[in-house]
Structure 1
Amino acid sequence: MSVGSAGERVTIYDVADAAKVSAATASKALNGSGRMTAETRDRIKRIALELGFRPNSLARSLTRKRSFTVGLLTNDTYGRFTLPVMAGISEGLIDHGVSVFLCTVEDNPELARIHVDAMLDKQIDGIIATGKRIDKPLPVDLSELPVPVVYALNTGPQNGVTFVPDDRQGAREAVQHLLSQGRSRIAHVTGPREFGTVRERASACSQVLEHAPQARLLDTLFGSWSERWGHEAVAQLWSRAETPDGVFCGNDQIARGVIDALRERGVDVPRDVSVVGFDNWEIVAKETRPPLTTIDMNLKELGRQAGLALVRMVNREEVVRGVTKLPCSLIVRSS
């Protein structure tokens, strides 16, 4: 029985494939947790030994007194941001035999408290708090809990452990891409001014263009996170004598509305105007005509880093306190 090429580390996924079980089952068998027959547990252990599997040191350090479960608490009931974060958490923790228990709290403090109490009753090892808005905390105080807490795409205490996308860096990437396409008259169409991320991206956009030779910012328009606002913004911009040849949008829905409105006016994208979005919400970005160039916040990687940080906290290892900003990525398509 052999897996991979010489020198490659055998992972829990390799053990699971060889034993024809899920990665979670394989991990629990090796950790001595979970419910399964003694025969199944012994078979998985034998296969792991034959493959030369060596558990990650983080996984070994989790004692058998742990529940091998973490709670994910969110007010993002639609799941737009939470699902990719959760996928990253699960991917990062599966090799450590840790499962994720998801609870949605909306913006209801009483419901949030009930879910937190239920998590603690289940003896979870820790909680990851996430949501739909970085600058708005969840409606429950998590600062005095008996388990460690990590914040991902959500506001945490000053001395907490928080992971967020680097919105300023992402906005700079977007504007610099427009400049690289030869665009010189840039408009920024974005969401509500009260959002911290909106102000961060708008500030970065303005800063880049202040230092760009032969290019300038025509206007920054604040509105809603919707395609309808994208249409309305184009109507405003194209009612003026000077129109943009590049539009940086605060999210992909706005960008899709902008592109549709330009098409209705006979303005070709990207020949006449280049458009860049933000989020890389693939269900929107890939189906836009033309497919949308956008900024990916790398939420899956953000979730993975948050999950691994929580494991370290559970193991009482050192972690970086404060806010860790993870880089965004430019996804070039056709707009």
Structure 2
Amino acid sequence: MSAPPPNERTGRHGPTIRDVARIAGVSIGTASKALNSNGRLRQETRDKVTTVAREIGYRPNDMAQSLHRTRSMTVGVLSTDSFGRFTLPIFQALEEQFADRGIAIFMCNATDDPERERQHLDQLLGKRIDGLVVTARRADKRPPVGPLPAGLPVIYVFSQADDRDALCLLPDDEGGARLAVRHLGEVGKRRIAHITGPEHFEAVQLRRRGYLSALAELGLAAHPEFYLSGKWTEAWGRDAVAALFDGKTDRPDAIFCGNDLIARGVVDALRERGIAVPGEVAVAGFDNWDVMTAAARPPLTSVDMNLSALGHEAGRLLIEMIGGETVRGIRRLPCTLVVRESTSTST
């Protein structure tokens, strides 16, 4: 069997239905009927065509067959979240939304590599996907993906495109921070510190805004020395505790952390100093990452960004957009607070 010619768009070799028909010695129409299991053909002809397709690597449900449909019944997910920490809950929710509708999902991970993202996008577009979901490991603005075919529905989930016409679904970071700080006030804490990540992250800015807003609502003072920004790491949580407690008489009685990694380091550092959690100092985190919250001693109260809800909403909206609806703008979905022993002895 001779090798198929290069694909005109990508320059890569890939079998087409023309190759199948030529090698099998049948017309393109006959090959299509055989591969789609329709029309009246001899079984011998069907077997010959499907054997040729299998041997040359042609897949009838991939690019070529989708040309004969109004829709391909496929959706692409393009992610930069190499660990899957934020993308996997979104992906699982999308699968739940699409499964009953017979829509398949192709997921690609670009790991912050623009060239790899371009390659993955080419592959997804080559499959003639009906829609695209773009996710990331952080929700900061990024250039829009593209170029894309006109009219292709695209949703950014836990990601933002620097494009006013884009649709972006995000957790309400500011509202989540307010939930955590209000809770700390409700359990009797009055000197609430905030240890968080790098200030150039939008999430850091929004969570600090929520922290300050909740303090004002509670009638509590915002002590400038109680706000510390650094890295998204346990080590930074331990270092920040040293800055707040070692040799200090003016100490906080609660700490709201910008993520669960920081909070885990905070809890460990407090325990090493003999400071009781939550009796002397209550600690709350953000992300509700079960690997961190369950392993912390005591288990960690944390803000849940409800990533599954983001995924379900993305699936619902993408189906509407595939159906012809126009949806754009930034939508922030509410977070919830999961209370555990690090803030309340009654849980």
Q: Shorter-normalised TM-score: what interval?
A: 0.7 to 0.9
Q: Does 1:227 find its partner at 2:234?
A: yes
Change (3 A) 1:308 1:317: same
User: Which amino acid in the other structure matches residue 266 of structure 1?
Assistant: G
The answer (yes or no) to whether the contact 2:198–2:204 under 8 Å persists in 1 is yes
CA apart distance, 1:141: 3.2
**Alpha-carbon separation, structure 2, partners of 1:88 and 1:108:** 26
Q: Which has the larger radius of gyration?
A: 2
Which residue number in structure 2 is paired with residue 202 of structure 1?
A: 208
User: Which amino acid in the other structure matches residue 106 of structure 2?
Assistant: F
Taking the TM superposition and a 5 Å limit, the aligned residue runs for 1:74-153 are 74-137=79-142, 140-141=145-146, 146-153=151-158
CA apart distance, 1:107: 1.7
Change (3 A) 1:315 1:136: same
Taking the TM superposition and a 5 Å limit, the aligned residue runs for 1:8-47 are none
234, 250, 259: which one aligns with 1:251: 259
Change (3 A) 1:267 1:131: same
272, 276, 282: which one aligns with 1:268: 276
Taking the TM superposition and a 5 Å limit, the aligned residue runs for 1:157-176 are 157-176=163-182
The answer (yes or no) to whether the contact 2:238–2:266 under 8 Å persists in 1 is yes
The answer (yes or no) to whether the contact 2:178–2:214 under 8 Å persists in 1 is yes
The answer (yes or no) to whether the contact 1:189–1:230 under 8 Å persists in 2 is yes
Which residue number in structure 2 is paired with residue 44 of structure 1?
A: none
Which residue number in structure 2 is paired with residue 329 of structure 1?
A: 336
Please list every run of 5 or more consecutive structure 1 residues that lacks an aligned counterpart in the other structure: 1-33, 37-62
Cα deviation 1:247-271 (Å, max 9, x = unaligned): 0000001000000000000001111
Cα deviation 1:211-233 (Å, max 9, x = unaligned): 32355445210011110000000
Q: Does 1:315 find its partner at 2:323?
A: yes
**Alpha-carbon separation, structure 1, partners of 2:273 and 2:259:** 22
Change (3 A) 1:142 1:155: farther
User: Which amino acid in the other structure matches residue 220 of structure 1?
Assistant: Y
Change (3 A) 1:138 1:86: farther
Say how many residue pairs are matched: 276
**Alpha-carbon separation, structure 2, partners of 1:138 and 1:272:** 46
The answer (yes or no) to whether the contact 2:182–2:218 under 8 Å persists in 1 is no
**Alpha-carbon separation, structure 2, partners of 1:184 and 1:165:** 27
**Alpha-carbon separation, structure 2, partners of 1:158 and 1:241:** 49
Point out 4+ residue stretches in structure 1 off by more than 3 angstroms. Answer: 138-146, 214-218
Name the TM-score, length of structure 2 as normaliser: 0.75
SS at match of 2:198: coil
Name the TM-score, length of structure 1 as normaliser: 0.78
User: Which amino acid in the other structure matches residue 139 of structure 2?
Assistant: I
CA apart distance, 1:88: 1.2
SS at match of 1:120: helix
**Alpha-carbon separation, structure 2, partners of 1:225 and 1:277:** 12
SS at match of 1:302: helix
Please list every run of 5 or more consecutive structure 2 residues that lacks an aligned counterpart in the other structure: 1-34, 38-67, 343-347
Change (3 A) 1:292 1:209: same
**Alpha-carbon separation, structure 2, partners of 1:303 and 1:145:** 24
User: Which amino acid in the other structure matches residue 195 of structure 1?
Assistant: F
The answer (yes or no) to whether the contact 1:107–1:138 under 8 Å persists in 2 is no
**Alpha-carbon separation, structure 1, partners of 2:160 and 2:146:** 11
Q: CA RMSD in A?
A: 2.1
State, as a whole percentage, how many aligned pairs show the same letter: 46
**Alpha-carbon separation, structure 2, partners of 1:84 and 1:120:** 24
